[in-house]
Structure 1
């Protein structure tokens, strides 16, 4: 029996086309709630960029790919920043005239360094404003929970090994990599909430579409890839549903008799 369902946001709950949650998904979530099933967001986003979906009264939020877990009442269950030495190394790398764009994300703010058309494109696709650009000096390197590095996939391994060796990269878009502390993933956030609610892994289900969802889909009892998911996500999923704009979440929950 499923007692908790974990949802990625962009491309899963939210459509990239409408920037809204489809009506069928809203109805599915409310049906889950009526049955007493916990509904938990699991995203690479900041907690402060989720206000437009909180009207659905989620039971918890796994943010920064598991690095910051908070209940709907604002109780912080887990917080793990990127090692300060990796952030300082990134800042030093950029100050040496290396052409890299990146954001540094903490609980309270997102700072952007070297705004380019790629960064503008990313925020446009998420329907979010571009944060204010920051300078390299006087930055608190101890508070960063995630950074987005605008680097091509073929250069990612070398960059991580030489610049941020204590961190790990994952992707849901070729535009950039999400970078989090080594060992951090949505899987970690799932276990935090299962312990909090007293639910076992055999009573879980998850939905996702990007590379940063792979550990989540592999970890839950049922891992569902959206029809619009990346090929590597579909390869590891237990089930592939329709895309976000064609009732994918509703259809999968009906397929497994969860609703």
Structure 2
């Protein structure tokens, strides 16, 4: 671990739900807010890395960040809204999903740059939006659905059928999961790792100078690839297995403690 502690870190990527944001308190711990401010004062870039859209981040925008990696890497922007990267889901897969929903009870969310639309208000859909504290979006227009500009889909299926569903319904896309409720579906080739690579190029930072925090399955690609990948104490076992370091839960100052552990923060004074 000594070699990791001596690493020069220039950029840190933070997942949101379960990492920055606590589901228990529905807020960001004050220790985390202060830690991010202190990192930026030291010249370290601090970048959001989330499955959410940039329009679903009002609950963390009281903190200053250096960029937004959203839709699991499918849409990356600077703080002033400059789009660095954008990739939509293959319209064939969206059409397949809609047709499949007509003969099944599957529910889903279609996520765009500026809006989210849902198939119907199923119990799982209502549970999700209550869980993340976001108003339930309106239904999509079945007569005039925009299938050309979908950046991400949430499909409310069980993990046991996920592989078969993706192969048969959305073969040009890939899925990841941070909750048993649903799978995030993104364009093929998209991941948080890919988004990190765009930010590294933009800020002229090497991957060996990066760190990331996460707790869900959609964080695995970035935690594996940065120099220091930190799993939150509340992370799933599959995330902890690939992390360089496991810190405390989000509610037990996990981010601050890990940053102190690696010498990026000093709280002795």
- When normalised by structure 1's length, the TM-score is 0.98
Match of 2:4 in 1: none
Per the TM alignment, residue 163 of structure 1 is displaced from its structure 2 partner at its CA by: 0.4
Per the TM alignment, residue 254 of structure 1 is displaced from its structure 2 partner at its CA by: 0.3
Per the TM alignment, residue 54 of structure 1 is displaced from its structure 2 partner at its CA by: 1.5
Structure 2 unmatched runs, 5+: 1-7
Question: 1:178-197, aligned counterparts within 5 Å?
Answer: 178-197=184-203
Aligned-residue CA RMSD (Å): 0.7
Select which of 40, 59, 65 maps to 1:33.
40
Match of 2:86 in 1: 79
2:37–2:64 CA contact under 8 A, matched in 1? no
Question: 1:139-178, aligned counterparts within 5 Å?
Answer: 139-178=145-184
- Out of 113-122 and 220-229, give the one that drifted further: 113-122
- Residue 28 of structure 2 corresponds to residue 21 of structure 1: yes
Select which of 51, 54, 73 maps to 1:47.
54
The 1-side partners of 2:262 and 2:231 are apart by 14
Runs of at least 4 residues of structure 1 off by over 6 A? none
- CA displacement, residues 83-130 of structure 1 (integer Å, 9 cap, x when unaligned): 0110011111112x3111000001011000021111111111101111
1:22–1:247 CA contact under 8 A, matched in 2? yes
- Residue 69 of structure 2 corresponds to residue 62 of structure 1: yes
Structure 1 unmatched runs, 5+: none
2:172–2:188 CA contact under 8 A, matched in 1? yes
Select which of 113, 118, 126 maps to 1:120.
126
The 2-side partners of 1:71 and 1:51 are apart by 16
- CA displacement, residues 136-179 of structure 1 (integer Å, 9 cap, x when unaligned): 22111110000000000001011100000000000000110000
SS across alignment from 1:223: strand
1:149–1:177 CA contact under 8 A, matched in 2? yes
The 1-side partners of 2:140 and 2:50 are apart by 24
Match of 1:229 in 2: 235
1:91–1:136 CA contact under 8 A, matched in 2? no
Per the TM alignment, residue 211 of structure 1 is displaced from its structure 2 partner at its CA by: 0.1
The 2-side partners of 1:69 and 1:152 are apart by 29
Q: How many residues align?
A: 258
The 1-side partners of 2:144 and 2:97 are apart by 14
The 2-side partners of 1:162 and 1:135 are apart by 24
SS across alignment from 1:55: coil
SS across alignment from 2:212: strand
The 2-side partners of 1:231 and 1:135 are apart by 39
The 2-side partners of 1:38 and 1:109 are apart by 28
SS across alignment from 1:69: strand
Per the TM alignment, residue 51 of structure 1 is displaced from its structure 2 partner at its CA by: 1.8
The 1-side partners of 2:19 and 2:241 are apart by 17
